[in-house]
Structure 1
């Protein structure tokens, strides 16, 4: 009997010693699993007045609210910041989530399957935690990794093989053009995204070239990279003659002998003052 008690005492002593010898993060994880009210080492407690008009009464407990303020290096999910664990976790079910994702996330966040006609893969599968941390992160939007690292983890790139790379790609900001949750088509591009950085041709030209008018920039330009100048998907004349019938063009008096010239030597590819889009 004494041996059983001794083993039990030794087990308790060993467990306590193990927990207290862990790193602060691991120790907090273990302790908070078994006990409520364990101080979080990544938060610092400060006293904040509920109302600045109560400054004269700041000496009484009723006028001061004690809140947990995150350390600067972490961005905290609001329920985690306010220690409102029960908003996501069921205390009666050993801390299991109250609902499966994304149903749980959609209680507070926008349901992107309703917002967008086409949604990003992780959104379709309800895998919010594939990109976002549920509790805290050092990155904006509680991302698990920097934006580019997250995107490239699933989307393969071959941009190193190309000569000219779109600025946003070279600067590694995928979300400058793509919505990470959804869009109107499978490219998840925001409406009029090209005009976000490039000249607004509608104010510059009286007549717009067809692809410019329909905001179909990618009919002529590569979206990420190209071996051709201006990120064109083909050489200039191949692009132009792909839509404009060559026999009719070169049979006219103005174009006789112009087969070797580039169309953009005389015509603006984006717009002009008349339907011929001639350069001034």
Structure 2
């Protein structure tokens, strides 16, 4: 079955022209593609591999995880064993021919690495991978560790710290005074990056799990959804008009403090209150600035709520 998958994979690769921008003159990669076509697998499977690799603790750690389970029919180890992922042995003994390696120091392109993973992992959660931002610069192995009993990226306690190794701007934001309750290695929280984003890609901007930013926010903030009799246009348009979802120095996740935030759209001309900075003004009293009066800023259902005051 696994051999058939690889043959179908190679046929699809060449027939769709996926490799048109890949330098197939690369000797190692060409050798590996040729080996897949020949399909000369070892008769002894992992036993042949372990004759040389059994003293490598990283290799042996495979048997601690699901990919090394012999009793699981969907596991690579229950099929062509090591060769399910690293390709047919061919004349590899004595290092006469290479095998596929994975990760940053791989001997093949990210596309070929991912094609091995996707030959098994084909489902609705990964259908957007080829168009995902992640797929442009890295492979599955950049985030996932297969030779282990515990893939850290699958553990909510480590997910954020792994994502922010690359997403440094977001790392800065989530450590600001106002942020979502994200679980990190040093902080307990109820959310992770995958609460909002699909790391394997989606049909939306920023790989959101929902169809829009607002729909993503409404998953938790349902009270802001409406519909309202009086709607505040920036709220309907995009929550990030006013909020930074990853974190801010302003409560609650505001891009800037009121009234400066409000005055991005609303000029102060003709407003009944005195200028900001006067301790007796409506802006300053109570510490909530515009929200001292306009408390229902996300929308109002009150008959007299056209100014979002009630």
Unaligned runs of 5+ in 1: 1-26, 35-39, 45-66, 71-75
- Asked whether the 8 Å contact 1:202–1:208 carries over to 2, the reply is no
2:287 maps to 1:264: no
Q: Does 1:31 align with 2:51?
A: yes
Deviation at 1:114, TM superposition (A): 6.7
Cα deviation, residue 82, structure 1: 4.8
1:81–1:148 Cα change, 3 Å: farther
CA-based RMSD of the aligned residues comes to: 4.1
Q: Verify the 8 A CA contact 2:153 2:159 in the aligned structure 1.
A: no
- From 71, 75, 78, the counterpart of 1:78: 75
Distance in 2 (CA, whole Å) between partners of 1:237 and 1:203 is 24
CA deviation profile, 1:200-234 (whole Å, cap 9, x unmatched) = 423463333222212x1111112222222212111
Q: TM-score, normalised by structure 2?
A: 0.54
Give the distance between the partners of 1:115 and 1:126, measured in 2 at CA.
Answer: 15
In the TM superposition, what are the counterparts of 1:268-279 in structure 2 within 5 Å?
A: 268-273=296-301, 276-279=306-309
- Check 1:28–1:193 CA distance in 2 against 1; reply closer, same or farther (3 A cut): farther
| Helix, strand or coil at the partner of 2:261 | helix
Asked if 2 retains the 8 angstrom alpha-carbon contact of 1:201 and 1:208, the reply is: no
Is residue 102 from structure 1 mapped to residue 114 from structure 2 by the alignment? Answer: yes
**Structure 1 Cα separation of the partners of residues 227 and 207 of structure 2:** 28
Alpha-carbon distance between aligned partners in 1 of 2:48 and 2:306, rounded to the nearest angstrom: 72
Superposition deviation, residue 90 in structure 1: 1.3
Aligned to 1:202: 225
CA distance in 2, matches of 1:263, 1:174: 32
Partner of 2:182: 168
Please tell me whether the aligned partners of residues 43 and 69 of structure 1 are also in contact (alpha carbons under 8 angstroms). Answer: no
Q: What 5-or-longer segments of structure 2 have no aligned partner?
A: 1-46, 55-59, 93-97, 101-107, 283-288
User: Which of residues 88, 91, 95 is equivalent to 2:89?
Assistant: 91
Q: Does the Cα contact within 8 Å between 1:119 and 1:182 map onto a contact in 2? A: yes
8 Å Cα contact 1:162/1:225 also seen in 2 = yes
Is the alpha carbon distance of 1:173 and 1:93 closer, same or farther for their aligned partners in structure 2, counting shifts above 3 Å?
farther
Q: Distance in 2 between matches of 1:93 and 1:29?
A: 12
Q: Normalising by the residue count of structure 1, what TM-score does the alignment of the two structures yield?
A: 0.59
Which residue of structure 1 lines up, in the alignment, with residue 26 of structure 2?
A: none
Tell me if the contact between 1:209 and 1:271 (Cα under 8 Å) persists in the aligned partners.
yes
